[in-house]
Amino acid sequence: MDKKQKQNDEEFYQSFLNESMQDYAKNHKVPEENQKRLINAGRNHALKTNIMITLAILLLIVPVLTLSSYLYYAIGGKANHLIDITTKTIYVTEPNMSLEEMELEEDIGFFTMNIYFDVFKRIGKEDYKAGEYSILIALDKPNFPERDMKLERPLPITGDMETDMLYHPDGPYGKKVNSDWDILEHLPDGTVGEIYLSLNHLIKPEELENQFGNKVEVRWVAVDTGLEDKNLYEAGYSVAPIGYPLQVDTSTWSPFNGEKSNEEVFLDILKFLTKDEKTAEKISRARSLALKERISYIEKNGIQVYGAVVTGPTSELRKLKDNDLIKVMKVGEMKLWNWK
């Protein structure tokens, strides 16, 4: 009995299944043409979606990188800090050179920053454009600056105590160097000039100002930091002169704007640059700045100068030949009369 019942059930189930399958096939029958159309539409849609999303991702690369670079340089004031290091390095390592920070331009690429600025020299009573700087900074590491100097007698690209025209009285260089008095002799009176004076002995900067009379302006003084009078092996570093402008600079955005004395600003700048000495070294023409040693020497011995860059009418500069304080004189730049 049971067996028969089971067989019946199975047959019933089988026929029900067959019926359902036939029903399904009948109801869901799609013509072959429709099937193709559907598959094509699906494929096209998938292709279109793929293309658009790929395009979106590709087109996002440049804006995302640009935005990330801007954020990288803006967050924490990294760009401003790098600009600060650059401008302050110029003031303390380049004799008689200033810059207009308002005119400084920056250009940010993919995690690189280019900064461009002009540097000026005071010759006579006017500032003349001395050249253009362009510095590429990759992340926060600068390359060596590209300088385009528009000077008659520019200082060399890599400077040291031998080449920078300011010699320490006790140093190994400058003993065999001849002064350029004959150049001044041959220049007409209607000109103004900038000359580099190396002194016979160290002197306080405030005393130096009165040494050369009213008609000569002391622009920049080279400070003795204990390394200038040594040769390369004694010093351990190849250094170049560092110093600061002696005159208060009110007309520009200079750090030497008179809020503090220039000596204080000079020391502040050296301390500020100590934290990023490698960056400052790249921007300066010196091979090394050795700031820690120099700061401790200055703090111990005070600021004493061994050289100066002065400007004035050529006729007045010629008179300095008789000044006992001057050991070596080198001529820098000359310009037409502007001494008013």
Point out which residues pair with 120 in neighbouring strands. Answer: 98, 129
70 binds other proteins (CB under 8 A): yes
How far, in Å, CA of 105 to CA of 168, rounded? Answer: 37
Residue with Cβ nearer other proteins (63 or 300): 63
| Residue of 17, 21, 46, 52 that binds other proteins (CB under 8 A) | 52
CB of 24 to other proteins, least distance (A): 11
Residue with Cβ nearer other proteins (7 or 44): 44
| Residue of 17, 21, 47, 62 that binds other proteins (CB under 8 A) | 62
How far, in Å, CA of 142 to CA of 44, rounded? Answer: 51
Residue with Cβ nearer other proteins (45 or 321): 45
Residue with Cβ nearer other proteins (27 or 178): 27
Angle at 225 between CA 293 and CA 213, to 5 degrees: 160
Which amino acid would we find at residue 305?
V
Is the sign of the CA dihedral 245, 247, 253, 258 positive or negative? Answer: positive
CB of 73 to other proteins, least distance (A): 6
Residue with Cβ nearer other proteins (113 or 184): 113
Point out which residues pair with 108 in neighbouring strands. Answer: 113
Residue with Cβ nearer other proteins (78 or 319): 78
How many Cβ atoms are within 10 Å of 118's Cβ, its own excluded? 16
The interface region with other proteins, picked from 68-76, 183-191, 204-212, 322-330 by CB under 8 A, is: 68-76
DSSP code string of 65-92: HHHHHHHHHHGGGHHHHHHHHHHHHHHH
How many Cβ atoms are within 10 Å of 114's Cβ, its own excluded? 15
138 binds other proteins (CB under 8 A): no
SS3 299: helix
| Residue of 77, 188, 236, 258 that binds other proteins (CB under 8 A) | 77
**Binding letters toward other proteins, positions 84-113, x by CB under 8 A:** ------------------x-xxx-x-----
In this structure, what are the phi and psi dihedrals at residue 213, rounded to the nearest 5 degrees? 85, 175
80 binds other proteins (CB under 8 A): yes
How far, in Å, CA of 97 to CA of 131, rounded? Answer: 10
- CA neighbor of 96 nearest in space, from 116, 66, 133, 126: 126
How many Cβ atoms are within 10 Å of 279's Cβ, its own excluded? 19
73 binds other proteins (CB under 8 A): yes
**Binding letters toward other proteins, positions 19-48, x by CB under 8 A:** ---------x-x-------x--xx--x---
Number of residues that bind other proteins (CB under 8 A): 31
Residue with Cβ nearer other proteins (3 or 28): 28
Site residues for other proteins per CB under 8 A: 28, 30, 38, 41-42, 45, 49, 52-53, 55-56, 59-60, 62-63, 66-67, 70-71, 73-75, 77, 79-80, 83, 102, 104-106, 108
